[in-house]
Amino acid sequence: MKRKPYSRRKGTTTKSVLRLPDLEHAKVAVLNSLTSLDAQRGYRHAIDEFVDWYCLEPRLALNRIVALRYRSHLESRRLAPGTVNLRLGAVRRLAYEAADCGLLSADLAAGIRRVKGVKKLGVPRQLADRGVRPSSLASTRSSTTERKTRPSLARIATRVWVEEA
């Protein structure tokens, strides 16, 4: 029987449960990869919020299930789809950087990257709360001159939405 050669080098192991220093290290890597100050500010806020939520849960392994639970947490807070997608994007990027740093396995990071975002339905949430449906925003007029002279319901609804914000 042939013996395996002895190696002094330790095998590198990746973690599934990331602690606060590991998350901070990955956060710094994410923020350093961004060039825009506005993007850094947005990602910093999103990552800080995720870290706060992640540390409140008892010893969760950072994987696809955790990302799905975080998505449902964001949806339960009734955040806009764009906000949820931005925060999920920050979590995906955090997992990617953690995998690059050797803190997380590539399989777990790939699972987190497969978490889909929330679909945008095309109606601003302020109008949806008033009961406006996408079908009522469509113009029913057929004449091209009539479409040019009168604003459509969609533009009126958008104007109302912008003025309230």
Phi and psi of 129, rounded to 5°? Answer: -65, -25
Homologous superfamily of 20-113 in CATH?
A: Tyrosine recombinase, N-terminal domain (1.10.150.130)
**Amino acid identity, residue 73?**
H
Q: What is the mean pLDDT of residues 13-19?
A: 65
Phi and psi of 52, rounded to 5°? Answer: -60, -45
- pLDDT digit string (tens) for 97-124? 999 988 888 999 999 999 999 888 766 6
Structure tokens at 96: 């990617």
- pLDDT digit string (tens) for 34-78? 999 999 999 999 999 999 998 887 767 888 999 999 999 999 999
- Identify which of 83, 130, 91 has the alpha carbon closest to the alpha carbon of residue 113: 91
Q: Where are the domains of the chain?
A: 20-113, 125-164
- Identify which of 110, 104, 107, 113 has the alpha carbon closest to the alpha carbon of residue 15: 104
Neighbours of 34 (CB within 10 A): 15
